[in-house]
Each structure stands twice: as structure tokens, then as C-alpha cells.
Amino acid sequence: MATTSKVYVAQLIGLPVFGPDGESIGKIRDLVVALRIDHAAPRVLGMVVELATRRRIFVPMLRVTAIEPNAVTLATGSVNLRRFTARPNEVQVIGQLIDARVTIRMTGATATVLDAAIEPTRTRDWVLARLAVREKVGRIGRRGPVKVLSWDEVDTPAMTELIHAPQGAVHLLALFDRMRATDVAAALHDLPAKRRYEVAEALDDERLADVLQELPDDDQKDVLSRLDDERAADVLEAMDPDDAADLLAELSEMDKNRLLALMEPEESAPVRRLLEYETYSAGGLMTPEPIVLTPDAPVAEALARVRNPDLTPALASMVFVCRPPTDTPTGKYLGCVHTQRLLREPPSSLVAAAVDTELTSLRPADSLVRVAKYFAAYNLVCAPVLDDQEHLLGAVTVDDILDHLLPEDWRESDAMDSEVGETADA
């Protein structure tokens, strides 16, 4: 074991984990400790490690041979690939302890946990020895200075109730800020239900919308149902219209109509159009907000639109050229321009000169199988969907197809994991 004397948990989150031969195992997402009845420091049982496949597994602390500033190394042996599930009296430090309200035993003051430090013992165990807390000062709860206290200086009974006690989420959100929405979704899925709702409540609308889009369907419905109707409508407005339509389609007719009525008309209109199509059709898969330009737009404008960081790589791979209006459903569809082609054209030239008029388009009623074959045949990651009058209705992207071709629980279980079995050598 490394001779590190003290490690703060927030510094560990996101660190890569390597096997003894340097092979990558995954990244640390949390630590698991065992609560005790007495005031002795809880023992660190192990780490929650997220594999490249997004499955989270448990790695016992005794397997850790070195904790360094930029990585953690494991000893030789097998790694159990079963999905991590917390047991009774086990607490996830990041998921349940950070932002918890505790009582300082000497003064009786209430404080909030900002971070926790683990330390090794002579027996090669690690314990949760210290807490970094911020005390509330005065009746209005002004923020006091940060204090680092040993575990026995904190009121332990208050700690044992943290599984059920209300928590804030400020410092947990600070850790999430460094993570992609898909990784935050994986973390949220693995949190206890109470903590999941607290974090969802604390996320702003845009961030929660991004995270919801990456959650399994059941989690999406569960989180949305915990929000008040006004907030739920705001979050749906912030989601991509196709994802919002997919989520609303899972709700009861009454709930769906109530939330649609609360959304702004310009936000609900594209969602309502998508809900008219079968879920597993091109119309049900498409997004109604691709990049659309008129034929007299310069290439420079097209490239500027493509650079929008809010676009997915798939949507940014193609620009659609139509007669006005450019909002879907558009005027007459003229063709598309691949981003690679735009890069080869002078910025001052018009997109009309680079339009591909030969690419076959999809129809909204086309089945998922037909759409998948279309993408495979033309080697595309984005494709236009037109109505019978040649108006552009939207675009289907390859990630939309994969979401529906994969098993419904693909975000929770992974075929790659099952192929390698329940254990793997580290």
C-alpha cells in the first residue's frame, strides 16, 4: 500500500484506476464506508469504479496498492464485474455524506460536510478519519469558516441518520460540474432514491434536461414525477424535442396533456408533432431542429452554424438547404451539404453550389429497420426526413437509431460485460 498519509475523497473522484500491468480498469466514482455504532472512524470498504462500459463495480480497498495524485493502482487478481449495490449500513461518501448536515459535538453547532479525508491504519485498512465542514453562523445561517474535524468530534448519531435525513447538493453538484451529462446520469442512477431526488431538485433546468436524456426510461419518469408540474414543463422545454416526446410518450394521457399545456406554445409545438408519429418510425426518431439554411447563405454562415457546441457531432455533420421558411416543416427541400464538403469550399461561396441533390431521403412512416438499412447503405450519421410535398420535417441521427436498436435496459446492463463474465483479471 502507498505511504500516503491522508487523501481527500473529492480529489479521488474521476481518477483512473489501473491494474498491476498498467491496463486501464476504469475511473473512481465514489468510496464506500461502513457506519459504526460507536464514535470510532468508519472503515473504508472499497471504491466504486466505473468501467468504460459505464457499469459501476465494487473494488475492495485491500486490492489497492497505490494512491497517487493522478492514478490508483490495483494488486494482481480478479475484479468482480457484478454491478455495485450498496448493502445496509454502508454509505457512499460522495453520494450520501457530502452536503449532509452534522452536529459538532463540542459546540452543538450545525455544519455541512464539504469533503472527507481517508487515512491508512497499521493493519493496512483505511478509515474515514476526518471531515471538512462549514459551520452555519447566526440565525440566518451565514457561512462560517471551513473546519477540518476528526470523526469523533462529529455527533455520530446524526451521521447514522444521514441515509434518511434531508441533504443539500451544492458540493456534490460541484463535483458533477467536471463530468459529462452521461456520467452524471450514471451516478444519479446509482444514488439512493432520496439522494437522487435531492440532486435533481438542485440541478438547473438545462443541466437536468441534459442528464435526463441520458437516464433509463424508468429513471426519467421517476425523476420527472418528483418535480412540480411547472418545473417539469420547464425541464421538458430544455430537452431536445425528440427526447421530450419520447419521455412524454411513456406517461399517461392525462399527465402528458397536462405537461404539454404548461409548456410554452413554441416549445410544445414540435413535441406535439413528433408525438403524432409511431415511436419506432423515422418521424418518431427524428429531431425537428437540424441545421437549415436557404440556398443564398454563404458557406461561412454554414460553418458557423456547424460550430455550435450545443449540436451533437451527428447533427453537425450535415446542413440542409431549403426554400423559406427554414423552421420545420420548411419550404421546398433542395438538398443537403456534408460538413466535409463545406470545409473544401471558399467561405464566400454560396451553399447552393455545394448541395447534394442525389441523396435519397427518408419518409416519416419509414420503419426503424428501413432507417437502419438506409444509414448502413449510405454510410451516414445524419439523414433528412421529408413529407409527401418535399418539405423537410426533421433529421434522424445515428444515435437516435442506436438508442432504439439496443435493448431497453442497455444503459443499466451491458452486453460487453456479460461477454467477459462476472470477473476479470486485473
Q: What is the pLDDT of residue 173?
A: 81
Query: What pLDDT was estimated at residue 411?
Result: 57
DSSP 8-state symbol, 338: E
317, three cell numbers: 455533420
Do the bridges between strand 16-18 and strand 24-34 make them parallel or antiparallel, or are there none, so unpaired?
antiparallel
C-alpha cell at position 204 = 438547473
The full set of domains in the chain, from first to last, is: 10-33+44-81 (2.30.30.240), 181-276 (1.25.60.10), 292-405 (3.10.580.10)
Q: Return the pLDDT at 279.
A: 87
pLDDT tens track, the chain, 426 positions:
445 678 999 999 989 999 888 889 999 999 999 877 677 889 999 999 999 888 889 999 988 998 998 999 998 777 788 888 877 778 889 888 888 888 888 888 888 899 999 999 888 789 999 999 988 766 555 677 889 999 989 875 444 455 555 566 777 787 788 788 888 888 888 787 888 888 899 899 999 999 999 898 889 999 999 999 999 999 999 999 999 999 999 999 999 999 999 999 999 999 999 999 998 899 999 999 999 999 999 999 999 999 998 899 999 999 999 999 999 999 999 999 999 999 999 999 999 999 999 999 999 999 999 999 999 999 999 999 999 999 999 999 998 898 888 766 655 554 444 333 455 666
How remote is the C-alpha of 242 from its chain's centroid? Answer: 17
- Other CB atoms within 10 Å distance of the CB of residue 310: 9
239 within 8 A of 212, measured Cβ to Cβ = yes
Residue carrying C-alpha cell 483505511: 126
Residue 31 and residue 59 in contact, taking contact as beta carbons nearer than 8 Å = no
**Cα separation of 170 and 196, whole Å?**
13
* CA–CA gap between residue 277 and residue 363 (Å, rounded): 11
Nearest to 387 by CA among 368, 363, 371: 363
Percent of the chain with pLDDT over 90: 57
Q: Dig out the grid coordinates for 60 from the structure.
A: 475492495
Phi-psi region of 339 (alpha: psi -120 to 50; beta: other; left: phi over 0): alpha
Reading the block at residue 21, the C-alpha cell is 500491468
Distance of CA 42 to the CA centre of its chain: 30
Task: Please name every residue paired with 391 in a beta bridge, in sequence order, or none if there are none.
Answer: 332
Parallel/antiparallel/unpaired status of strands 318-322 and 292-293: parallel
Q: Would you call the peptide bond into 295 cis, given omega within 30 degrees of 0 as the criterion?
A: no
Q: How far apart are CA 371 and CA 22, in angstroms?
A: 42
What totals of helices (H) and strands (E) does the chain contain, helices first?
17, 19
CB of 49 within 8 A of CB of 29? yes
Count how many Cα atoms sit within 13 Å of the Cα of residue 86 in the half-sphere of its side chain. Answer: 22
For the chain, the distance separating the N- and C-terminal CA atoms, rounded to the nearest angstrom, is 16
CA–CA distance from 282 to each of 47, 241, 274, 362, 392 (Å)? 43, 14, 10, 7, 12
For 379, list phi and psi in degrees, rounded to 5. Answer: 55, 50
DSSP state of 75: P
How far apart, in Å, are the Cα atoms of 284 and each of 228, 307, 376, 393, 423? 27, 26, 19, 11, 39
Q: How many C-beta atoms lie closer than 10 Å to residue 302's C-beta?
A: 23
Query: pTM to 2 decimals?
Result: 0.71
Q: Is 41 helix (H, G, I), strand (E, B) or coil?
A: coil
User: What pLDDT score does 426 carry?
Assistant: 61
Burial 378-406 (b: 16+ CB within 10 A, else e): eebbbbbbbeeeebbbbbbbbebbebeee
What is the bridge-based pairing of β-strands 423-425 and 56-60? unpaired
Contact at 8 Å (CB) between 186 and 216? no
Q: Which amino acid is at 336?
A: C
Task: For residue 43, give the C-alpha cell.
Answer: 472503515
Residue recorded with cell 416549445? 267
Tens digits of per-residue pLDDT, 18-59?
988 888 999 999 999 987 767 788 999 999 999 988 888 999
Q: Looking at residue 212, what is its pLDDT?
A: 94
- Phi, psi of 336, deg, nearest 5: -130, 160
At residue 319, the 3 state secondary structure works out as strand
The sign of the torsion formed by the CA atoms of 11, 14, 15, 20 equals: positive
